[in-house]
Amino acid sequence: MKAELPLLLRALRAPQQLAALPPADWDLLLRQAANANLSATLHDWLAQHGVLAQALPQAREQLSWAAVMARRHRQATYWEIRLIGKALAGLGVPLLLLKGGAYAAAGLPPAAGRLFSDIDILVPEDSLPQVEAALMRHGWVGTHHDSYDQRYYREWMHELPPMMHVLRQTAIDVHHTILPRSAAQRPDARLLRAAARPLAGEGEAAAAGVAILAPLDMVLHSATHLFADGEFDKGLRDLWDLHCLLTHFGRHEPGFWEALPARARQHQLQRFMFYGLRYSAMLLGTEVPPATMAAMAADAPPPLLLAGMDALLTRALLPHHPSCRGAGSAVADFLLYVRGNWLRMPPLRLARHLFHKAFLTPKNSQGAAA
């Protein structure tokens, strides 16, 4: 275990060493975990390793309350998935879950204690009008009414404008692919859907005809969601997702590690996957086979750029708690935000977009309020 890592990362890498933690460090650990949205995850992780019973009583009580909230959240997720399935029934569109909803429905390791704000689904692009209309008939409405925002999502992005249920206030994001249309990389959504796996079992999610991405594609989406983005305030939680998926599928899916590099290149996501393997191993101790890491090294950025990314990401992926924010953290956040927008759109369109959001959207909002 690396002593220079923040306390939360050391807890995730070697939870057994928390048994002798002094009270002040338990307080700091809880604050870092709450900041990273990992409190309930930490509870389940410590329980899994037999350390929870040895925790400071006050810390154990706080973690237990976080776990209760996470269980309620997971029950609500099952219910919401069932209602989404009911809304889409009869369209002939499979309910393909992404990210947190998929982890919860399938009972995958990242679901332990995980909280998320919306449910993401993936549908064929040509079915978007029917899916949107069906959801609206069942109480979901759009949340972005500005004409520019509508164009932004519908012409350039990989999803419809986010929708929220008028009664339950639950959110859903309807994707047709996993990266914006305007991005340079073009993952093949048809291949994602073709390889998707229906959920097994007799639970509510399985009864609704739910499917999830295949293991390789789920890992690729996890890495892409993290490293194509420009905001890393919950980056450690997403990196933990990736670590758990890599560890789980690496152990239980035959040929997983050998097939990962080729699948990443097939979807044009090899750079994001390289970053995922590199920083998951660096910060969380993920055991990546040397052969897989060597195969992905062909997709690494040039040495100077990689050194820069190391400097940025080893800061931005830490909890955004004051105890983890050292020199250069704010600069790293800003540069990665700029990078995320640069990856999202070509330069001219990005300049127009930023100009509109900075100057025209606030003006339009003020006019509407008046």
The DSSP line for 132-194 is HHHHHHTTEEES--SHHHHHIIIIISSBPPPEEETTT--EEEEESSSS-TTSS----HHHHHH
Q: What is the pLDDT of residue 204?
A: 53
In the predicted model, what is the mean pLDDT of the chain? 90
Q: Report residue 243: phi and psi, to 5°.
A: -55, -45
Q: Please report, for the chain, the start and end positions of each structural domain, with discontinuous segments joined by +.
A: 7-369
Would you state the torsion angle of the CA atoms of residues 281, 286, 289, 293, taken in this order, to the nearest 10 degrees? -30
Q: What percent of the chain has pLDDT over 90?
A: 77
- State the first-to-last Cα distance of the chain, in angstroms, to the nearest integer: 58
pLDDT at 203 > cutoff 90: no
Contact 336, 232 (CB under 8 A): yes
Q: What is the pLDDT of residue 182?
A: 87
Compute the average pLDDT of residues 103-132: 93
For residue 166, how many C-alpha atoms fall within 13 Å in the half-sphere facing its CB? 8
Least confident of 131-135, 157-161, 244-248: 157-161
Contact 66, 55 (CB under 8 A): no
Cα angle value 43/98/262 (rounded, 5°): 105
Residue 53 host element (H or E): none
d(CA 252, CA 201): 18
Global confidence as pTM: 0.92
pLDDT at 365 > cutoff 60: no
* Integer angstrom CA distances of residue 279 from 246, 250, 272, 325, 354: 12, 17, 11, 18, 30
Q: What is the pLDDT of residue 370?
A: 35
For residue 257, how many C-alpha atoms fall within 13 Å in the half-sphere facing its CB? 17
Quick: pLDDT tens for 292-328.
999 999 999 999 999 999 999 999 999 999 999 988 9
Name the burial class of residue 166, with classes exposed (0-12), middle (13-18) and buried (19+) by CB atoms within 10 angstroms of its CB.
exposed
